[in-house]
Chain A
Amino acid sequence: AQKVTQAQTEISVVEKEDVTLDCVYETRDTTYYLFWYKQPPSGELVFLIRRNSFDEQNEISGRYSWNFQKSTSSFNFTITASQVVDSAVYFCALSEAGGTSYGKLTFGQGTILTVHP
């Protein structure tokens, strides 16, 4: 069975600090997909990134970067120079490919990030 663990329940930083959100996953499949979503106070989950298990290249998008390491089953998310608008709950999610797991997302517990001015 697949599992996603976000060990950090809450993180509090001051604006302009860098912050890394950890995500560790478990799966028996060799093909799988990893996601990060942001949930601001409004409630809507905002898609941030999708990676497949064959693409270990790290990605940077503006102040956001992701570090995917299959050797440690981790898919960590770093926000550089954090801003107050980054305050939200961040979810890491995993989906296995094909079979009965097709399309199903397993979410971690989420990390509450608070950025203080």
Chain B
Amino acid sequence: ETGVTQTPRHLVMGMTNKKSLKCEQHLGHNAMYWYKQSAKKPLELMFVYNFKEQTENNSVPSRFSPECPNSSHLFLHLHTLQPEDSALYLCASSLQLPTDTSTDTQYFGPGTRLTVL
């Protein structure tokens, strides 16, 4: 079983569509992350969830709406996207114990390749 899975792997949507990306981790981790990877740009952190609570929103437009129902699942709801939102969206998770102030290793999923027409 792969540690972090993402579905779908590829998604093509129009600007008026609503879709969702799903991420699931099987590692028993407590923190989950969404990253955006565009061509010619470094990976950008979008959201962080620790124990289901959002702890970071990196100035992401409201057309991206994350949801974390439990520590194993993370969703990214998409609506009214723009062509410039086309990118690889990567999910990651890390252990992040409550008493641990160090930075744990993040393990990544295979990503969802999103194309907005």
Interface residues of A (CB under 8 A from B): 33, 35, 37, 42-47, 50, 52, 91, 95-98, 102-110
A43 to B45: give the CA distance in the assembly, Å: 16
Q: Which residues of B contact A50 (CB under 8 A)?
A: 105
Q: How far is the CB of B93 from chain A (nearest CB, A)?
A: 11
Q: How far is the CB of B100 from chain A (nearest CB, A)?
A: 10
Find out whether the CB atom of A95 lies under 8 angstroms from the CB atom of B103: yes
Interface residues of B (CB under 8 A from A): 31, 33, 42-43, 45, 48, 50, 55-56, 88, 90, 92, 94, 96, 101-111, 113
Q: Which residues of A contact B113 (CB under 8 A)?
A: 43
Question: Which of B33, B104, B110 interacts with A43 by CB under 8 Å?
Answer: B110
Q: Which residues of B contact A44 (CB under 8 A)?
A: 108-111
Find out whether the CB atom of B101 lies under 8 angstroms from the CB atom of A102: yes
Q: Which residues of A contact B109 (CB under 8 A)?
A: 44
Extra contacts besides A43-B113, A103-B48, A108-B42 (12): CB < 8 Å: A43-B88, A44-B108, A52-B102, A96-B103, A97-B101, A97-B102, A103-B31, A103-B33, A103-B50, A103-B96, A103-B106, A105-B43
Find out whether the CB atom of B106 lies under 8 angstroms from the CB atom of A98: no
Q: List 26 A-B contacts (CB under 8 A).
A: A35-B105, A42-B110, A44-B109, A44-B111, A45-B90, A46-B108, A47-B106, A47-B107, A52-B102, A91-B43, A95-B103, A96-B103, A97-B101, A97-B102, A103-B31, A103-B48, A103-B50, A103-B94, A103-B96, A103-B103, A103-B104, A104-B48, A105-B43, A107-B43, A108-B42, A110-B42
Q: How far is the CB of B26 from chain A (nearest CB, A)?
A: 14
